[in-house]
Structure 1
Amino acid sequence: MTTDLFYLTLSAGLCAILWVPYVLSRIMTWGLINAVGYPDNPPELPAWARRATRVHENMVENLAPFAALVLVAQIAGTANETTAFAALLFFWARVAHAIVFTLGIPWLRTVTFVVAWVGIVLIFIEIIT
């Protein structure tokens, strides 16, 4: 497995577990029955859980272009050290983003988002040049 595909796999795994914290918060705040149902007026979740929900949504949105570009680079034969570094950059920036966003650290949240985006852009540039 190439480095690019390894970090794509880790990124997909990260996306697949990011729902856990906010769902556990729903269970703790709303109770199990309401958490698995559709309560009419559920209590508001803690701020960190609302942020964790947005972390997951944001990762879903960013995983699609990242995955598409990693796969195109593999198929087109343009994967190289730069795309491998970019994939590593994307993954670790997304891990950091999940942590700082959930904790509510605004400036670092933006920085980690941009760093991950740079990873996507680097792969795109390697494909088109």
Structure 2
Amino acid sequence: MTPELWWMTWTAILAGSLWIPYIVGINTEPETPDRGDPFKRPPAQSQMRAWVHRAHRAHLNLLEQFLPMLALVLIANAAGISTTVTVWACAAFFVLRVVHAVGMIAGWAGFPLRPVIFLLGWACILAMGISIIAPN
């Protein structure tokens, strides 16, 4: 397994697990009179506790960046491209996504830190793309 695929494996595990804080939050929401039926939809996000809403957004935000990054890593792997840049881009991407998720759910990664983390994740995606389109 290439280092890039190793990092994407961990990113996939993170993406596949980030639903957990949201579900925990939904299921521990304070009871309201209209929530007596356990099969009712969760409340509107604007009515959720702030950290639950942020957990949902953190999950969606990871998925927005993970799909293009994974596609590029798989393309690079199929093309036999593995360089110092691609390895570091994948490692940095994973670390950035963990920091983003933890910071967002905890509420300490606000403006401008959260957009900067997202922008750095995008830079990792660009580094992968450029490594494929213009190797060396």
Same fold (TM over 0.5): yes
> 1:103: Cα distance to partner?
2.4
Gaps of 5+ in 2: none
SS of the equivalent of 1:29 reads coil
Relative to its length, the structure with more helix (as a share) is: 1
Letter of the structure 2 residue corresponding to residue 52 of structure 1: A
RMSD: 2.2
Q: CA deviation at 1:95?
A: 0.4
Task: Give the paired residue count.
Answer: 128
Per the alignment, do residues 23 and 34 of structure 1 end up closer, same or farther by CA in structure 2, a change over 3 Å counting? farther
What one-letter code is carried by the residue in structure 2 that aligns with 1:13?
A: I
Aligned to 2:87: 84
Q: Which residue of 2 aligns with 1:61?
A: 64
Cα distance in structure 1, aligned partners of 2:36 and 2:82? 48
Which of 46, 50, 54 lines up with 1:51 in the alignment?
54
Identity of aligned residues (%): 34
Q: Which residue of 1 aligns with 2:22?
A: 22
The CA deviation at 1:111 is 1.6
1:39 paired to 2:44: no
CA shift, 1:39, in A, is 3.3
Gaps of 5+ in 1: none
TM-score, normalised by the number of residues in structure 1 = 0.89
Aligned equivalents of 1:115 and 1:86: distance in 2? 10
